[in-house]
Each structure stands twice: as structure tokens, then as C-alpha cells.
């Protein structure tokens, strides 16, 4: 086992020890507790999608029946806890779960075709006249965190026309000309025209744009997607790092942002490993992983990661971001990414 694979396994054990539990004491289910120590009844649907994705990363690293069973139990837990079905009113949440379920089918052979169909039906309603994906049902906010994952979802299903149109909307309306980064989203009028751009810059917006371009470049061979992927990698390296380490976004939902970015930097790096931008992506991931590991803390079950990988993690406690499942998933995701790339550096 490589050093990074061992570290990823330690992060996996820590999350399982501190956060995994049975849903309603049903032994054939699993869910991630959103905070530790302590308990919370709050339902973080999209955090569970990333927990599922991390579990699939671990299964790819070392496929065991236990990991496959855990994946099955997580899928079942999400469906039961969501009560009304596979989807909710937030199109970004729905797209994230769709991506995780696609991987559960391809990586572990755990197929839920009914779930994918339900997700695809829901996403169809999210595509308004603007050409992008609404954030939630009935909202006029069209954003990258919904549009990017939906584009990846459609591209994986070879619905390439839809995927291309979603990414083209992002590129037309949301690229910051001064940095090459993509803004968060836009408020749109009923006819689809853009009324106002929300100019916040989040790392995971860059990640999902990158992931969508890689999917489309791989599927179509069109060089424009690879060119955009290269620009995005370079923009992240130049504007969203501290000393070569991916910048954090705090706890809560923001705790997941940098881990998601690391995931899609890894997708880009492995798609075309000899390209200069792939080498930049690889270094970003490995340098971030080195920083996160160096600044880790220790608690029950293993390592604790902080919300900012350049800063020493503090002991988890209620109200501290180190106790958030999102922050620990981001660290785990990063180490799984490093395990993939460590032999390619």
C-alpha cells in the first residue's frame, strides 16, 4: 500500500468511526452524522451524496465486500431518509446525488435505474429559458453549482447536446475576464436574459466546470473543451491557492468546496497525464494533500482535518468546523485524490 493510500484509509476509518450510523437503528442502512461530537437531526442531502462518492473512492482504491455493502447501505439510507423519493427541490443537490449514483453503478455495480430516471426527470424541470440550471424549484437564480454537476451527469449519459448547452451558458455569462475563473451564478428574467451576475468566486464552481469540460472533451474530441479545461486549471492555480495549496471556504457547506475541486483536478490530470495543465493539477492536489496531512489533528478514530489546509486543525467540538462532516469528507476526498495521483507525479 502506498503512503497516500494508507493515509486515505486512515481518513476513511475516521469518518466511519465518528460520523457513520444506522438510520433509525435499521442495520441495513447507513448515513453520515453531520456533526461530531454530538447529534443533529438536520438533513444534509448533498453531504450524503459526497459521502457516497468518497466511499466509492475507497472501493476503487481497495475493493472489498465490506466497502460495497457500506455503499449499498448508504444508498438505501439516503432513499429512506429523504422520505418522499430520490429528489428534492434543490437542483444542485439532485445533480450531486445523480453523479454519486452513476459512479455506484460503474464502480461497484450497484445500479438504481429508477433513481437515475427520477433525477433526470427532476433536472429536466430545472433547465429554464436561460439555458442554465436553476438553483432550486421556482427560483430565478441560475448557478454553476447546479449547472456544472448537471452537465457532468448528462455527459456521462451521452446526452451531449444538453451537456454542451449547459456548459456554454456558463461560458457565455459567468467567466470573469480578469482571472478566467467562473462566477457563482446569475439572476435571470422570465425570458432567460441575465438580470444580475452574482460575482462570488468559489473553488468548487471551477471544479465542476473543469469536470464537465473533461467529460465533453473525452466524449466528443472537440479541442475547445480541452482548451477550456486547461484555462480553468491555470486559473485555479493562479487565483485560488495559498502557497500552492487549494484555498478553503470554512465549515458548513463550504467545507466541501475544496475537496470537490481536488476531485475534478484529479479527473483532469488522469484524462491527459502528459499535458502541462495536468501536471499543474497533479501538483495542486499533492501539495494540498501534504499540507492537509501536515496540519491534521487527531481524535477518536484517526485524523481530523481543518477547513483550511494551511492551518493546524483544532479539536472537533460543537460549533467548530472540524466537527462538520463536510470538512472531514473534503479531507478524505483530497487524500483519495492524492492516492490516485501519487504514482503519476
DSSP string, 242-256: ETTEEPP--SGGGGG
- Segment 150-175 mean pLDDT: 97
Which residues make Cβ contacts (< 8 Å) with residue 161, sequence separation at least 6?
A: none
Whether 237 shows a pLDDT value over 80: the answer reads yes
Reading the block at residue 271, the C-alpha cell is 484524462
What local confidence, expressed as pLDDT, does residue 318 receive? 86
In order of their start, the domains of the chain are 3-341 (1.50.10.20)
**Angle 45-61/257-271 helices, nearest 10 degrees?**
40
213/267 Cα distance (integer angstroms): 11
Query: Which H helix or E strand runs over 170?
Result: helix 160-173
Distances (CA, A) of 71 to 35, 93, 197, 264: 20, 18, 38, 21
> What is this structure's pTM?
0.97
In degrees, to the nearest 5, what angle opens at C-alpha 251 toward C-alphas 269 and 304?
75
274/80 Cα distance (integer angstroms): 44
**Is there a contact between 211 and 152 (Cβ–Cβ < 8 Å)?**
yes
Whether 104 shows a pLDDT value over 70: the answer reads yes
Sorting pLDDT into bands at 50, 70 and 90, what band is 128?
A: confident
Whether 262 shows a pLDDT value over 70: the answer reads yes
Amino acid at each position: 500500500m502506498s503512503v497516500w493510500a494508507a493515509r486515505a484509509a486512515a481518513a476513511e476509518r475516521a469518518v466511519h468511526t465518528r460520523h457513520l450510523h444506522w438510520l433509525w437503528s435499521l442495520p441495513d442502512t447507513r448515513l453520515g452524522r453531520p456533526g461530531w461530537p454530538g447529534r443533529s437531526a438536520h438533513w444534509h442531502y448533498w453531504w450524503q451524496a459526497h459521502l457516497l462518492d468518497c466511499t466509492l473512492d475507497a472501493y476503487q482504491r481497495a475493493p472489498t465486500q465490506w466497502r460495497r455493502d457500506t455503499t449499498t447501505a448508504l444508498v438505501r439510507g439516503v432513499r429512506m431518509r429523504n422520505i418522499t423519493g430520490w429528489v428534492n427541490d434543490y437542483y444542485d443537490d439532485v445533480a450531486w446525488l445523480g453523479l454519486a449514483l452513476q459512479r455506484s453503478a460503474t464502480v461497484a455495480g450497484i445500479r438504481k435505474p429508477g433513481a437515475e430516471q427520477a433525477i433526470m426527470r427532476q433536472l429536466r424541470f430545472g433547465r429554464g429559458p436561460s439555458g442554465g440550471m436553476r438553483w432550486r424549484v421556482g427560483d430565478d437564480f441560475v448557478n454553476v453549482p447546479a449547472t456544472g454537476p448537471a452537465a457532468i451527469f448528462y455527459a456521462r449519459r451521452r446526452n451531449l447536446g444538453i451537456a454542451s448547452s449547459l456548459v456554454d451558458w456558463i461560458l457565455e455569462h459567468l467567466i470573469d475576464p480578469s482571472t478566467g475563473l467562473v462566477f457563482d451564478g446569475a439572476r435571470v428574467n422570465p425570458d432567460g436574459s441575465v438580470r444580475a451576475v452574482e460575482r462570488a468566486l468559489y473553488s468548487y464552481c471551477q471544479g465542476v466546470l473543469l469536470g464537465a469540460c473533461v467529460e465533453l472533451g473525452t466524449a466528443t474530441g472537440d479541442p475547445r473543451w480541452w482548451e477550456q479545461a486547461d484555462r480553468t486549471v491555470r486559473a485555479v492555480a493562479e487565483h485560488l491557492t495559498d502557497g500552492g495549496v487549494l484555498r478553503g471556504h470554512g465549515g458548513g457547506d463550504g467545507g466541501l468546496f475544496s475537496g470537490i475541486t481536488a476531485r475534478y483536478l484529479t479527473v483532469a490530470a488522469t484524462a491527459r497525464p502528459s499535458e502541462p495543465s495536468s501536471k499543474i493539477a497533479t501538483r495542486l492536489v499533492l501539495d494540498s494533500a501534504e499540507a492537509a496531512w501536515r496540519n491534521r489533528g487527531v481524535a477518536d478514530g484517526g485524523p481530523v482535518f481543518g477547513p483550511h489546509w494551511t492551518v493546524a486543525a483544532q479539536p472537533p467540538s460543537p460549533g467548530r468546523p472540524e466537527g462538520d462532516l463536510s470538512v472531514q469528507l473534503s479531507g478524505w476526498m483530497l487524500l483519495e485524490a492524492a492516492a490516485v495521483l501519487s504514482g503519476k507525479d
